[in-house]
Amino acid sequence: MSHDVSSQLLNLACGLFLLTALGVLWRRQVSALVSLLTLQGALLTTIAVLLAAEHHSAAALAVAAGIGILKAGIVPWMLRRVHRLVPDARETRPLVNISASILAAAGLTLLGYAAARPLVAAASSASGRATPVGLAVVLIGFFLAATRQRAISQIIGVLLIDNGIAAVAFLATGGVPLVVELGVSADLALAVLVLQILTNRLHATFGSTDLDELRELHD
Amino acid sequence: MTPWLVAVAQAALLALAAPLVVGVTRAVPARLAGRAGGRIAQPWRDLCKQLRKQPTSPADASMFFVAAPAVMMATSLIVAATGPFIAATSLFGGADLIVVVGLLLLGTVALALAGLDTGTAFGGMGASRAMVIAALVEPTLLLAVFALSFRVGSTDLSRIVAAGATEPARVFTPASLLAAAALAIATLAETGRIPVDNPATHLELTMVHEAMVLEYSGRDLALVEWAAALRLSILLGLLANLFAPWGVATSLDPMWLAVGAAVFIGKVCGLAALLSAGEVWTAKLRLFRVPELLAGSFFLGLLAVLASAILA
């Protein structure tokens, strides 16, 4: 019975995880995007905690705690700082309009499920059957990073990809070794830092963070 | 009781109650806004008044304009008679989901053609908007119910409702919440409620449903309004019975049928009050943002189907 409840909770967390990715495509205000990303980080932490509890593993619990601090704490805080420095960074003209992007996300979700069919067939547990959710979030993240023009939206796309990869790792294997997770997290924090500096410099030089306006090299 | 009698009684009940449901959706916001508002039976009085008056039609109007009210009313009555509203028994082979959605769409298309037929600017504008919305809403309606029909193994609405009433644990999963949300948004759009269309507006630039019926008068107008009210009751009733199928009669025993009718009226009026109370707090979306909302509800429906087919 308790196993059944925990797998239902896991499915619920995975569904909400995918829905937050949809919300990121839907909203335009950067502050709403950052809130959604925080929520997604919290849901990823929930997934990690549920899996750690299922496997009774202290190391996995430590990884979950690390993920929670990084994805629901540090990264949103950094993004909010960027947003405060560049307050006008609202996504005004994405390359693909919002309704088309949502329909594309539906297609990408189907693609994720189609691509993960061997994984689902091989899985014996509820977590294995939820793996396609992670793949779908990775694909949606790629789509977001490719079709948005503001630097901060593209950072958010990259973060979505990273969240998706982490979700796939957790759901498919039931936990990642602590060292690997630490390495990935450090990489991620570095990437956000670099993009933050890039955004600030862009804003200082051009007064805009539209990456499409970078057409040529300057001295 | 024979199935035919039950079907006729069900259609009559829905047709009689539909204007009252519209009355509820008008009375609740009025009370919340501190106005006295009209009585709940006011839509019925308007209908009776208009039914006595002779209709006029524009000089250039063809048979599409004349036929549309009858087509709308007929399709709505067929759905009201066969759908799983009071009794969830397969009356005549049952109300298949695809047939029900097709009949509702037939009514929408008939009204849109009538709007185009008059040749006025507003009629055409309303018709084109209604078609944009319908094209996005109908797939969502289908998908949202497919999420439940996967678990039951049938697209017959009566069997889905009956299975939900007798063994809820098998039919309802957390994914059903997604399906319910998708169906609720689709219902709002299909019946022209507030985030999509404002039923109280008479500003031509923002109207959808009202723009198509501008040229109707007298008896025809009464039929169109009655059919629109009936569609609101039908969709709210489907939403209530699919996701909260308690109190639906599963046999043709007269006592259970009476209980089913009372519970059904209560559920629909409750949903209508909830819907109109929600409308007080929300603003109408810009028309260009409406496809985003509908695409979002489509995504929710798709997710519900995926989840009920694969995850759970």
Q: What is the pLDDT of residues B150-168, one digit of tens each?
A: 888 888 888 888 888 888 8
Tell me what the mean pLDDT of segment B191-211 comes to. Answer: 83
CA distance to partner chain A, nearest, from residue B164 (Å)? 19
Question: Tell me, what amino acid is at B278?
Answer: G
**Which pLDDT score is estimated for B204?**
73
Whether the pLDDT of residue A52 is over 90: the answer is no
Tell me what the mean pLDDT of segment A179-207 comes to. Answer: 74
Cβ pair B292:A14 closer than 8 A:
no
Three-state secondary-structure class, residue B87: strand
Cβ pair A11:B303 closer than 8 A:
no
Tokens of A128: 């294995």
Q: What is the pLDDT of residues B74-97, one digit of tens each?
A: 999 999 998 888 888 766 666 889
A-B contacts (CB, under 8 Å): 57
**Which pLDDT score is estimated for A211?**
64
List CB contacts (< 8 A) between B295 and chain A: 98-100, 102-103, 106
Q: How does DSSP classify residue B96?
A: B
Whether the pLDDT of residue B56 is over 50: the answer is yes
**Which pLDDT score is estimated for B71?**
96
Q: Look up the ipTM and state it.
A: 0.76
Q: What is the pLDDT of residues B274-304, one digit of tens each?
A: 999 998 888 888 888 899 999 999 999 998 8
Lowest pLDDT segment from A71-80, B86-95, B100-109: B86-95
- Cβ of A216: how many Cβ atoms within 10 Å? 4
**Which pLDDT score is estimated for A124?**
73
B292 to chain A: closest CA residue: A99
List CB contacts (< 8 A) between A120 and chain B: 310
Tell me what the mean pLDDT of segment A173-183 comes to. Answer: 71
Tell me what the mean pLDDT of segment A116-123 comes to. Answer: 83
B221: which residues sit within 8 A by CB, 6+ positions away?
A: B50, B55, B213
Of B174, B296, B310, the CB nearest to A113: B310
**Which pLDDT score is estimated for A1?**
44
List CB contacts (< 8 A) between A102 and chain B: 292, 295-296, 298-299
User: From residue A207, how far is each of A86, A152, A203, A213, B94 by CA, in Å?
Assistant: 9, 14, 4, 11, 64
B295 to chain A: closest CA residue: A99
A4 to chain B: closest CA residue: B312
Mean pLDDT for chain A?
A: 82
> DSSP letters of A82-121?
HHHHSTT------SS-HHHHHHHHHHHHHHHHHHTHHHHH
Chain B residues 160-189 within an 8 A CB cutoff of chain A: 173-175, 178
Q: Residue A8 — very low, low, confident or very high, per pLDDT cuts 50/70/90?
A: confident
Tell me what the mean pLDDT of segment B15-32 comes to. Answer: 94
- For chain A, the 3-state helix, strand and coil shares in percent, each to the nearest 5, are 80, 0, 15
Q: In this structure, are residues B243 and B151 in contact, taking their beta carbons and an 8 Å threshold?
A: no
A126 to chain B: closest CA residue: B311
Chain B residues 91-130 within an 8 A CB cutoff of chain A: none
Mean pLDDT for chain B?
A: 89
Looking up tokens 């993960």 gives A116
pLDDT above 90 coverage of chain B, percent:
54
Q: What is the pLDDT of residues A123-170, one digit of tens each?
A: 777 777 788 889 999 999 999 989 988 777 888 888 899 899 888 888
